[in-house]
């Protein structure tokens, strides 16, 4: 019996790569039977996520807008790398570059992003990283969480795949809340969503 075909996945990163690590760990535990993490692309030279990819034996590239000279040239370079590696699904894991409609239209319902709030709260242009948690605390919400969604040309605007709520506790700082949302929501939701989307593509 031939082994099951797997969907080739690329993870796009900008920083430390904690969400990438969650995906790699899930794959190692056998929780991503439909997916193969085939490539990591960083838009920041020296991002720690590249070290995580190397440790997991996943090929990794650095492609920066600075080196490419423009957004269009940057996106073309990323697309060329994805095509050269036979990538079918893209995961944005702490990827801080906004992708144009020209890019996202090439991969309809095949680009996933994790956002550290319950969309539609605290999302859209300008809401990323600690800013999301600062806004949630300033608003006084009692519950926050994370959302995995498909990516289209609108920041945080694509269809929602999965959400998980996380309590906001008395005395939370943005950093403490960020860590809880990662541990209790992002790191669980994202690998599961990758498997769901890849399994669905294999059924088509």
Known catalytic residues are: 115
H-helix or E-strand spanning residue 41:
strand 35-42
CA neighbor of 146 nearest in space, from 99, 172, 98, 180: 180
**Chain position carrying tokens 């991503």:** 32
| Angle formed by the axes of helices 174-181 and 130-139, nearest 10° | 110
Residue with tokens 């090929």: 59
- Contact in structure between 49 and 158 (CB atoms under 8 Å): no
How would DSSP label each residue in 163-174?
A: EEEEE--TT--H
Chain-centroid distance, C-alpha 146: 12
């Amino acid at each position: 019996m031939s082994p099951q075909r797997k969907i080739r996945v690329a993870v796009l990163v900008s920083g430390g790569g904690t969400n990438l690590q969650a995906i790699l760990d899930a794959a190692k535990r056998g929780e991503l039977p439909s997916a193969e993490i085939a490539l990591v692309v960083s838009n920041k030279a020296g991002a720690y996520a590249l070290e995580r990819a190397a440790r997991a034996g996943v090929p990794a590239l650095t492609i920066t807008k600075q080196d490419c000279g423009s957004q269009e040239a940057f996106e073309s370079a990323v697309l060329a790398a994805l095509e050269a590696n036979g990538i079918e699904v893209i995961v944005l894991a702490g990827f801080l570059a906004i992708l144009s409609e020209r890019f996202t239209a090439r991969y309809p319902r095949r680009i996933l992003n994790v956002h550290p709030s319950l969309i539609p709260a605290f999302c859209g242009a300008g809401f990323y990283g600690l800013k999301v948690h600062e806004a949630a605390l300033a608003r006084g919400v009692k519950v926050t969480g994370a959302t995995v969604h498909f990516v289209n040309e609108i920041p945080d605007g694509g269809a929602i795949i999965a959400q998980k709520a996380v309590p906001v506790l008395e005395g939370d700082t943005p950093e403490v809340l960020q860590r809880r949302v990662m541990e209790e929501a992002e790191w669980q939701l994202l690998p599961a969503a990758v498997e769901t989307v890849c399994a669905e593509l294999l059924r088509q």
